[in-house]
């Protein structure tokens, strides 16, 4: 799949997010040998550098395995793809932000910080800080995003990743134009500030002001 996507003229960048547990040296080489490997942006989710916190977050103690694969990446000088280490900033790991930057300071791996997403209240509150603007404006995601899940379902919003809410369409039987026409009224409602009229828990969501740069 990665080979086909990276080789497509329609794809400028291919983002792969992983915890790196299966990112063996052999897998690293396989990615590097893809003809269009320069398009690949490999993001490794490094949410903690402490074994006990890794176990608390994921229920398994595999931090050493993750870091072993990261160290193998650091040692390579032939990589054609870009590698990032991403920390999802939460209460449990907020005190490790400086440590993460220090850990990768002298490497070719760039550090990313991601904000915790509660998925409109579906997940527990774990944000390290609430940075939501006081004035609620239109939603960047309703205006610009089309979320298609692994089952080819298209929910109204990315905050419904399992497509359990209303306004779900099927990518097998619908086009992107069908989707835009079908949801145009809700996009307009967001721009006009009528968030309560949208059939999603928009007023309980704090992702409306975030966007992928």
Output the pLDDT for position 114. 92
Distance CA 141, CA 146 (A): 8
- Cβ-contact 40, 6 below 8 angstroms: yes
- The reply to whether 211 falls in a domain is no
Phi and psi of 167, rounded to 5°? 65, 30
* Same domain? 93 vs 177: no
Q: What is the mean pLDDT of residues 5-29?
A: 94
- The reply to whether 74 falls in a domain is yes
* Same domain? 92 vs 183: no
Output the pLDDT for position 202. 92
Distance CA 39, CA 47 (A): 25
Q: What is the mean pLDDT of residues 162-186?
A: 89
pLDDT at 213 over 80: no
Output the pLDDT for position 143. 82
Last residue of a domain, one of 99, 115, 131: 115
Q: CA torsion, points 110, 111, 115, 116, in degrees to nearest 10?
A: 110
* Same domain? 73 vs 11: yes
Location of structure tokens 């089309």 = 146
- How large is the greatest C-alpha to C-alpha distance in the chain, in angstroms? 54
Distance CA 211, CA 213 (A): 6
Count the domains in the chain.
Answer: 2
Q: What is the pLDDT of residues 69-102, one digit of tens each?
A: 999 999 999 999 999 999 999 999 999 999 999 9
* Same domain? 83 vs 171: no
Average model confidence (pLDDT) across the chain: 92
- The reply to whether 84 falls in a domain is yes
Q: Averaging pLDDT over each range in 16-30, 145-159, 198-212, which range is the top one?
A: 16-30
Location of structure tokens 């792969």 = 16
Number of helices and strands in the chain (H, E): 7, 6
Q: What is the pLDDT of residues 50-71, one digit of tens each?
A: 999 999 999 999 999 999 999 9
pLDDT at 212 over 70: no
pTM (two decimals): 0.82
Query: Which domain, by its residues, includes 14?
Result: 2-115
pLDDT at 211 over 80: no
């Amino acid at each position: 799949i990665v080979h086909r996507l990276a080789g497509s003229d329609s794809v400028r960048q291919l983002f792969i997010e992983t915890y790196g547990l299966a990112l063996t040296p052999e897998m690293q080489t396989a990615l590097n040998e893809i003809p269009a490997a320069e398009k690949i942006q490999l993001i490794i989710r490094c949410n903690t550098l402490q074994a006990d916190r890794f176990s608390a977050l994921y229920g398994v103690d595999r931090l050493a395995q993750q870091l072993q694969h990261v160290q193998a990446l650091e040692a390579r000088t032939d990589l054609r793809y870009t590698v990032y280490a991403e920390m999802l900033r939460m209460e449990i790991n907020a005190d490790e932000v400086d440590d993460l930057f220090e850990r990768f300071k002298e490497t070719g791996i760039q550090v990313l910080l991601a904000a915790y997403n509660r998925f409109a209240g579906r997940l527990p509150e774990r944000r390290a800080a609430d940075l939501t603007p006081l004035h609620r404006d239109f939603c960047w995601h309703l205006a610009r995003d089309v979320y298609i899940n692994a089952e080819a379902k298209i929910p109204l919003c990315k905050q419904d990743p399992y497509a359990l809410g209303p306004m779900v369409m099927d990518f097998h039987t619908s086009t992107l134009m069908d989707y835009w026409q079908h949801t145009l009224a809700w996009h307009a409602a967001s721009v006009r500030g009528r968030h309560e009229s949208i059939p999603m828990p928009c007023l309980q969501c704090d992702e409306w002001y975030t966007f992928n740069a």
